[in-house]
């Protein structure tokens, strides 16, 4: 037995060593870029493991030593080139797609062939639908958004009188975000269908699980592992059971009455059907596209909102200023998109959450598809993965006063309000990177801001919230560059005592 174990260990070690050598020989030449942590043939694996569990500290160290320049940190299968400082961030923003490619960056990370579908990444027509149609229709669809927020909080929390009730925070927020988003994506009654909600919220987790697992194997094994693990065909079939009758009915009306038939639903599915061309018009591909949009929308918004809710629950002193603002605005305007736009403190609270927490410690991931030289002479060879050190940028005292303090109304003070437009949570800049920056910045951020602001406004005027036993905010969960609130933590709600 012992003999077999030693033989197997030897074989695995030889495989690992030959893989390490081939990775080392095939790597783009990044010698001129300083390394943070161990950088040798074998020690870089140790660096890659350290990065999995201490990405934040590693990035901070790189930023402190090389702010305004490039540095590199080892990953298991490639090196990450990390840039910082407004000048280099602007250069990434301006770099053409055929040099620093967002599409190829997403592709390397998300393994779309096995998770979202190749076309979704390489023919991203839904991105402009989100940016234009969804954003333009926010005011028109706002009554539905607020209605779904109110009913889904009611349905999910189910309070009795003025008693406190403890609920799993993240799970509850995912349900509210999922229903509210889908009210605009596919409308009633599907947005309340338990199987649809389960599918679209679970799909994102499947994508991440499969992509991360494939990413743990070298490229040549990816097709085997990918085919073995992929849930995409099953998820699309499950989604088609819901969408097929709706799409066929809408298609019939389109054929009969033309593109602007009376009663045509004003939702994401209709906008996609209007824009889709060729093969993309099929029920299967429209379903896949809808799954992708949900993938982009649900957990991104829920993670950030849960972070915000945790700050609110741990700091009762933040509640009153928010309530005053929301009540005054609603009294003047009623619940409308315009009212939401006027809520500066609510906006600032969420923007501060995005600055302080965010989804990831890095942003603006790109893959160099041709050699790219920055103005300071840094050469990033083709094949390298490039991103920006967003977390250390957001915590830089030279940019944000007391940057390590969560200061919910920092973007709502008088001076900031004068510079209104550029201080809102949807405005990206080289020092506010949670939505990315430039032509690839998140196209759903206008929708996300309206939805999340309406959720926060609704919570503060409807409920009291706290942690059990006057608890403090639970520690975040991090893995590699990803940053999430504790997804098991509970929050207590009760009807607001006026
Ligand atoms: C607080 C919530 C959200 C955050 C923090 C967020 C963040 C991001 C980030 C960082 C990117 C990559 C940007 C880059 O590479 O430079 C991105 C891309 C994207 N986001 Fe969001 N997002 C959020 C909500 C949403 C929502 C609600 C939608 C859809 C309605 C959405 C749709 C997308 C899409 C489709 C892309 C890919 C864009 C492309 O392919 O060029 N996001 N998002």
Q: DSSP letter at 35? A: B
Q: Which band of pLDDT confidence, cut at 50, 70 and 90, is reported for residue 37? A: confident
Domains of the chain, with CATH numbers?
1-495 (1.10.630.10)
Sequence ranges of the binding site: 442
* Residue 480 zone, left/alpha/beta (φ > 0; ψ -120 to 50; rest): left
Residue 78 has pLDDT above 90, yes or no: no
Q: Which band of pLDDT confidence, cut at 50, 70 and 90, is reported for residue 4? A: low
Does this model's pTM top 0.95? My answer is no
Q: Which band of pLDDT confidence, cut at 50, 70 and 90, is reported for residue 261? A: confident
Lowest-confidence pick of 24-28, 180-184, 423-427: 24-28
Residue 100 has pLDDT above 60, yes or no: yes
Predicted pLDDT at 38: 84
Residue 340 has pLDDT above 70, yes or no: yes
Q: For the chain, give me the number of helices (H) and strands (E)?
A: 22, 12
Predicted pLDDT at 136: 97
Ligand 1 contact, 363 CB (< 6 A): yes
Tokens of 310: 């945790």
Q: Ligand 1 atom closest to Cα of 438? A: 16
For residue 18, how many other CB atoms are within 10 A of its CB? 10
Nearest to 198 by CA among 242, 254, 167, 137: 242
Q: Which band of pLDDT confidence, cut at 50, 70 and 90, is reported for residue 420? A: low
The Cβ-side half-sphere exposure at 89, using a 13 Å CA radius, reads 23
Ligand 1 contact, 270 CB (< 6 A): no
Predicted pLDDT at 6: 56
In whole angstroms, how far apart are CA 31 and each of 27, 35, 79, 388, 450? 10, 9, 11, 19, 45
Going from the Cα of 363 to the center of ligand 1, the distance in angstroms, rounded, reads 11
What is the residue-averaged pLDDT of the chain? 91
Closest residue (by CA) to atom 41 of ligand 1?
A: 440
366 contact partners, CB below 8 Å, separation of at least 6: 92, 95, 100, 101, 102, 104, 105, 385, 386, 387
How far is residue 326's CA from residue 460's CA, in Å, rounded to a whole number?
8
Predicted pLDDT at 498: 77
Nearest to 335 by CA among 320, 348, 346: 346
Ligand 1 contact, 268 CB (< 6 A): no
Residue 17 has pLDDT above 80, yes or no: no
Q: Which band of pLDDT confidence, cut at 50, 70 and 90, is reported for residue 497? A: confident
Q: Ligand 1 atom closest to Cα of 121? A: 40
- Express each pLDDT in 213-254 by its tens digit: 988 887 788 888 888 899 899 999 999 999 999 999 999 998
Q: Ligand 1 atom closest to Cα of 293? A: 29
Predicted pLDDT at 416: 60
Residue 273 has pLDDT above 80, yes or no: yes
- Express each pLDDT in 389-406 by its tens digit: 999 999 999 999 999 999
């Amino acid at each position: 037995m012992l003999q077999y174990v030693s033989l197997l260990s030897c074989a695995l070690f030889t495989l690992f060593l030959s893989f390490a050598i081939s990775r080392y020989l095939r790597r783009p030449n990044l010698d001129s870029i300083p390394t943070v942590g161990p950088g040798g043939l074998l020690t870089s694996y140790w660096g890659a493991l350290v990065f999995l569990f201490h990405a934040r500290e590693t990035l901070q160290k790189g930023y402190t030593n090389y702010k305004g320049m490039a540095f590199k940190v080892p990953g298991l299968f490639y090196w990450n080139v990390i840039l910082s400082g407004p000048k280099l961030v602007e250069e990434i923003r301006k770099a053409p797609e055929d040099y620093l490619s967002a599409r190829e960056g997403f592709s390397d990370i998300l393994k779309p062939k096995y998770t979202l579908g190749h076309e979704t990444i390489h023919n991203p027509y839904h991105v402009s639908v989100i940016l234009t149609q969804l954003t333009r229709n926010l005011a028109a669809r706002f009554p539905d958004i607020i209605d779904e927020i109110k009913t889904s909080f009611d349905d999910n929390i189910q309070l009795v009188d003025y008693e406190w009730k403890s609920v799993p925070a993240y799970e509850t927020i995912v349900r509210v975000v999922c229903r509210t988003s889908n009210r605009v994506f596919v409308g009633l009654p599907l947005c309340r269908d338990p199987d649809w909600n389960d599918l679209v919220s679970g799909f994102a987790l499947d994508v991440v699980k499969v992509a991360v697992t494939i990413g743990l194997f070298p490229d040549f094994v990816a097709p085997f592992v990918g085919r073995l693990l992929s849930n995409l065909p099953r998820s699309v079939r499950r989604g088609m059971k819901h969408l097929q009758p709706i799409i066929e009915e809408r298609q019939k009306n389109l054929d009969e009455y033309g593109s602007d038939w009376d009663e045509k639903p004003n939702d994401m599915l209709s906008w996609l059907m209007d824009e889709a061309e060729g093969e993309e018009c099929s029920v299967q591909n429209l379903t896949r596209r809808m799954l992708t949009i949900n993938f982009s929308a649900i957990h991104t918004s829920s993670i950030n909102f849960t972070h915000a809710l945790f700050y609110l629950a741990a700091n009762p002193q933040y509640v009153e200023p928010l309530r005053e603002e929301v009540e005054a605005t609603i009294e003047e305007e009623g619940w409308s998109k315009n009212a939401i736009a006027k809520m500066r403190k609510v906006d600032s609270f969420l923007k501060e959450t995005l600055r302080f927490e965010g989804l990831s410690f890095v942003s603006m991931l790109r893959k160099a598809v041709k050699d790219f030289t920055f103005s300071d002479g840094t050469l990033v060879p083709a094949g390298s993965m490039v991103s920006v050190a967003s977390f250390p940028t957001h915590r830089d005292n030279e940019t944000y006063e007391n940057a390590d303090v969560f200061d919910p109304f920092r973007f709502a003070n008088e001076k900031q309000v004068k510079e209104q437009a550029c201080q809102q949570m949807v405005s990206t800049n080289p020092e506010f990177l949670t939505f990315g920056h430039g032509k690839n910045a998140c196209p759903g951020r206008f929708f996300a801001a309206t939805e999340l602001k309406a959720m926060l406004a609704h919570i503060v005027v409807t409920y009291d919230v706290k942690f059990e036993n006057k608890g403090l905010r639970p520690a975040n969960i991090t893995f590699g560059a990803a940053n999430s609130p504790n997804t098991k933590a509970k929050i207590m709600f009760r009807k607001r005592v006026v």
